């Protein structure tokens, strides 16, 4: 990780808006007396959101003042967590995941697009529209490679669809959040590949297993009616019936004596070792 320093050019002052001031008081009040410092991350985060998603020195000082903390303690928090930006970022702030799953799925190609279209990491474009940095795993590895832009994730990226995404953002056109290839959430791209016996190989048609399909085919061959297919409802109905039968046979102890007896039945005490035969002693 690179050294994190405050921006060279700083605003003169920072003050929470009246709305954020009220919000901050509410957050601080959640903590017991003497523990107000626990609100430090929440307040820094709010200050950053208010200040175009970067934290100037004056905002760090204001948070320290509100929480009664030494400035250096708040600065330590702000410089430790990479979620806090210490210098101005673009209107569209791109965080590119470069961790192994995304790397294996082509994040380098996405980085090349950023270098070509946006420029050097950490620098804001001349029109103020974009800046980018590389970060560690953002927890969307199933849909790698991916980026976070401001508060949203954009996944299943290719150089082509990512280029289009940047074009749309630059032009102010609406964009699709999430997968850029149209898959829902992190469903498998090639269709259902697990639990096919429960949900059907096409993932839609309902319970149907290879075994029941073959049984039906054999039944037709021998002119015997096929066995009914086991479906989810029947399965769970049968499980519920078995549980009820079990409960009927296992009466719950109602008194301490019954409970002691029940425990003894389950786990009888060990018998003392038998005395060795007298001739063995000799």
Residue closer to ligand FES by CB (options 99, 213) is 99
Letter string b/e over residues 22-57, b meaning 16 or more CB atoms within 10 A of that residue's CB: eebeeebeeeeeeebbebbeebbebbbeebebbbbb
CB of 135 to ligand FES, least distance (A): 9
Q: Site for ligand FES (CB under 6 A): which residue of 27, 77, 137, 262?
A: 137
Q: How far is CA 134 from the centre of its chain?
A: 19
Q: Is 146 in the site for ligand FES (CB under 6 A)?
A: yes
Element (H, E) at 103: helix 100-104
8-state DSSP, 106: T
Residue closer to ligand FES by CB (options 52, 134) is 134
Scanning 19-27, 39-47, 95-103, 199-207 for contacts with ligand FES by CB under 6 A, the matching segment is: 95-103
Q: Give dist(CA 50, CA 58) in Å, integer.
A: 13
Q: Are strands 152-155 and 178-179 parallel, antiparallel or unpaired?
A: parallel
Q: Is 102 in the site for ligand FES (CB under 6 A)?
A: yes
Element (H, E) at 49: helix 40-50
CB of 154 to ligand FES, least distance (A): 11
- As a dihedral over the C-alpha atoms of residue 162, residue 164, residue 170, residue 176, rounded to 10 degrees, the angle is -80
The strand pairing partners of 97, in sequence order, are: 135
Scanning 42-50, 134-142, 162-170, 227-235 for contacts with ligand FES by CB under 6 A, the matching segment is: 134-142
Q: Is 148 in the site for ligand FES (CB under 6 A)?
A: no
Q: Is 181 in contact with 189 (CB distance < 8 Å)?
A: yes
Q: Is 135 in the site for ligand FES (CB under 6 A)?
A: no
Q: Give dist(CA 206, CA 188) in Å, integer.
A: 18
Scanning 112-120, 133-141, 206-214, 237-245 for contacts with ligand FES by CB under 6 A, the matching segment is: 133-141
Q: Is 140 in the site for ligand FES (CB under 6 A)?
A: yes
Q: Is 138 in the site for ligand FES (CB under 6 A)?
A: yes
Q: Is 101 in the site for ligand FES (CB under 6 A)?
A: yes
Residue closer to ligand FES by CB (options 98, 207) is 98
Chain residues that interact with ligand FES, rule: CB under 6 A: 97, 99, 101-102, 137-141, 144, 146
């Amino acid at each position: 990780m690179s050294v994190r320093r405050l921006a060279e050019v700083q605003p003169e002052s920072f003050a929470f808006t009246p709305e954020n001031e009220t919000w901050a008081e509410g957050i601080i009040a959640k903590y017991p007396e003497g523990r107000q410092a626990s609100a430090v991350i929440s307040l820094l985060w709010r200050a950053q959101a208010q200040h175009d998603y970067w934290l100037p020195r004056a905002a760090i000082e204001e948070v320290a003042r509100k929480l009664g903390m030494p400035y250096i303690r708040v600065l330590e928090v702000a410089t430790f967590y990479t979620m806090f930006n210490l210098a101005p970022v673009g209107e569209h702030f791109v965080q590119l995941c470069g961790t192994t799953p995304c790397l294996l799925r082509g994040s380098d190609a996405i980085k090349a697009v950023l270098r070509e279209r946006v420029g050097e990491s950490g620098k804001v474009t001349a029109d103020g529209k974009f800046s980018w940095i590389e970060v560690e795993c953002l927890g969307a590895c199933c849909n790698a490679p991916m980026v976070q832009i401001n508060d949203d994730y954009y996944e299943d990226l290719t150089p082509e669809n990512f280029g289009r995404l940047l074009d749309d953002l630059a032009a102010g056109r609406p964009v699709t959040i999430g997968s850029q290839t149209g898959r829902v959430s992190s469903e498998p791209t090639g269709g259902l590949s697990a639990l096919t016996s429960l949900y059907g190989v096409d993932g839609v048609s309902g319970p149907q297993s290879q075994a029941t399909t073959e049984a039906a085919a054999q039944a037709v061959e021998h002119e015997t009616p096929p066995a009914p297919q086991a479906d989810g409802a029947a399965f769970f109905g049968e499980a519920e019936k078995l549980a009820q039968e079990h409960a009927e046979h296992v009466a719950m102890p109602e008194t301490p004596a019954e409970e002691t007896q029940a425990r003894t039945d389950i786990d009888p005490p060990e018998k003392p070792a038998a005395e060795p035969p007298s001739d063995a002693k000799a």
